[in-house]
């Protein structure tokens, strides 16, 4: 019984101490453009400067609108911090034409795992044009005319058939 209690106590200590050994990055994402969309903020390990979306993702968060964000559980290392807005709704970014920005003092280096890096602010540029989701196929005028003629022909055929049966 004592071994069981000791094992559980060690497990709890390990769980709580491991969560305290990860850094946190906080900041704000600013965007003044007209496009709506989910905003992705990520810390990339091994990315080159200007390569938002490249490298290994160390931490990522999604926010529904511009404002504060927090990246959790980041270990020691050097990270490229960037953000993008998924304006076309496909779940990935940055795609062509989607706003993307980076922390202007990239890269950040975390040496002490229990620190919080603050004011990692990112401005997303106003690209001016909002990419639209894929258009829903619609019928053209000629397609509508063909459809009406087909329906009229079917109606005439049904009426003639009824008349010949009587």
Phi-psi region of 87 (alpha: psi -120 to 50; beta: other; left: phi over 0): alpha
Instruction: Name the DSSP class of 132.
Output: P
pLDDT (0 to 100) of residue 3? 41
Per run of 10 residues, the mean pLDDT along the chain (length 166 residues) is 40 42 90 89 81 82 95 91 88 84 87 88 83 66 85 90 79
pLDDT (0 to 100) of residue 162? 85
Phi, psi of 38 (to 5 degrees): -75, 140
Evaluate if pTM is beyond 0.85.
no
pLDDT (0 to 100) of residue 131? 64
CATH match for 23-123 among 3.40.50, 2.40.128, 2.40.50, 2.60.40: 2.60.40
pLDDT (0 to 100) of residue 17? 44
């Amino acid at each position: 019984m004592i071994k069981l209690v000791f094992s559980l106590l060690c497990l709890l200590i390990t769980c709580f101490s491991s969560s305290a050994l990860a850094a946190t990055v906080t900041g704000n994402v600013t965007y003044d453009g007209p496009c709506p969309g989910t905003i992705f903020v990520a810390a990339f390990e091994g990315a080159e400067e200007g390569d938002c979306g490249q490298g290994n993702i160390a931490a990522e968060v999604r926010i529904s609108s511009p404002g504060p964000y927090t990246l959790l559980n980041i270990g020691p290392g050097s990270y490229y911090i960037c953000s993008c807005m998924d304006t076309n709704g496909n779940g990935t970014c940055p795609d062509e034409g989607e706003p993307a920005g980076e922390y202007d003092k990239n890269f950040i280096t975390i040496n002490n795992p229990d620190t919080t890096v603050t004011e990692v602010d990112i401005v997303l540029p106003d690209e001016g044009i909002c990419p639209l989701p894929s258009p829903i196929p619609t019928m053209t005028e000629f397609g509508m005319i063909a459809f009406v003629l087909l329906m009229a022909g079917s109606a005439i055929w049904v009426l003639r058939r009824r008349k010949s049966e009587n």
